[in-house]
Structure 1
């Protein structure tokens, strides 16, 4: 299998509008949403993972597609779980599968793959630091990881677009 390279935030940017961040796990899918100005990521919800590799789309994919339409999302950012040495992890197949299904169901919305190294670790540490119990944290860590993925994408997008604007002036 060829190594997957994450997309560059801001490249082929669809412009203003909301972005959906997606943290794909084997049990749950965490979702985050940006405001229409695409500067701040906020937790949205956690969807139980139902769709397996050989299944037709289940209610998890249906819910993601519903949220994309409901929030007028202009870009979807799926976390690409790579190792610290930037190699593909075993979880990468799951992220690629969910990204493929979203692309197929929403062909007019760009679906990008974002490097998500350590996003779940950072999210879990932030939850613990804010006093969230480990038991309650399991319910929201996927959303927090999706926020981390999306916020990193939004920050990278802002840097990329400001550099492009400076170059064009």
Structure 2
């Protein structure tokens, strides 16, 4: 099931559990994981995009290995909140992953890359290292924002 608000997603996972955050790009999928109590999110592995079936298989394998109960997918909206071709592509990605059996939350990610970039600059990473890590850090930012909302909502 795909939902776009914290209350509906929380109702699907009343007992919590680990979540996988995704920053879906055209060349890579940045991933992040959170703990089962929804306290903190951390960057995970970077998946280089190829054929969709291989991308989905890698995400399912990561989910199974980490005992993930749901996915939080960053939805790239325009600054005014309207849909863009990228957001439509991300919605299609999520729809094509419905058969994993995991609930999927589409989460507004308008400022995630900017926040991740600032965090990496503050950590004094070189430009090359920032480019290599930005998608996973953006996924962690998306996931952290979502779990912060999830813990403040009652099911």
Matches within 5 A, 1:10-159: 10-11=7-8, 12-14=11-13, 15-51=15-51, 57-104=52-99, 106-107=100-101, 109-159=102-152
* Structure 2 unmatched ranges of 5 or more: none
Please tell me the root mean square deviation across aligned C-alpha atoms, in Å.
1.4
Deviations 1:56-81 (A, max 9, x none): x3322110011111111111010000
The DSSP-based 3-state class of the residue aligned with 1:83 is: coil
The DSSP-based 3-state class of the residue aligned with 1:138 is: helix
The DSSP-based 3-state class of the residue aligned with 2:71 is: strand
Q: Which sits farther off after the overlay, 61-70 or 91-100?
A: 91-100
Q: For residues 93 and 47 of structure 2, what CA distance do their matches in structure 1 show?
A: 12
Deviations 1:18-41 (A, max 9, x none): 000000001110000001112110
- Rg larger in 1 or in 2? 1
The DSSP-based 3-state class of the residue aligned with 2:97 is: helix
TM-score by length of 1: 0.83
Contact 1:75/1:111 (8 A) holds in 2: yes
1:47 CA displacement? 0.3
Structure 1 segments (4+ residues) deviating >3 Å: none
Deviations 1:126-150 (A, max 9, x none): 1111101111111110000000100
User: Aligned residue pairs: how many?
Assistant: 150
1:120 CA displacement? 0.8
* Structure 1 unmatched ranges of 5 or more: 1-5, 52-56, 165-169
Q: For residues 128 and 94 of structure 1, what CA distance do their matches in structure 2 show?
A: 29
Find the counterpart in structure 2 of residue 54 from structure 1. none
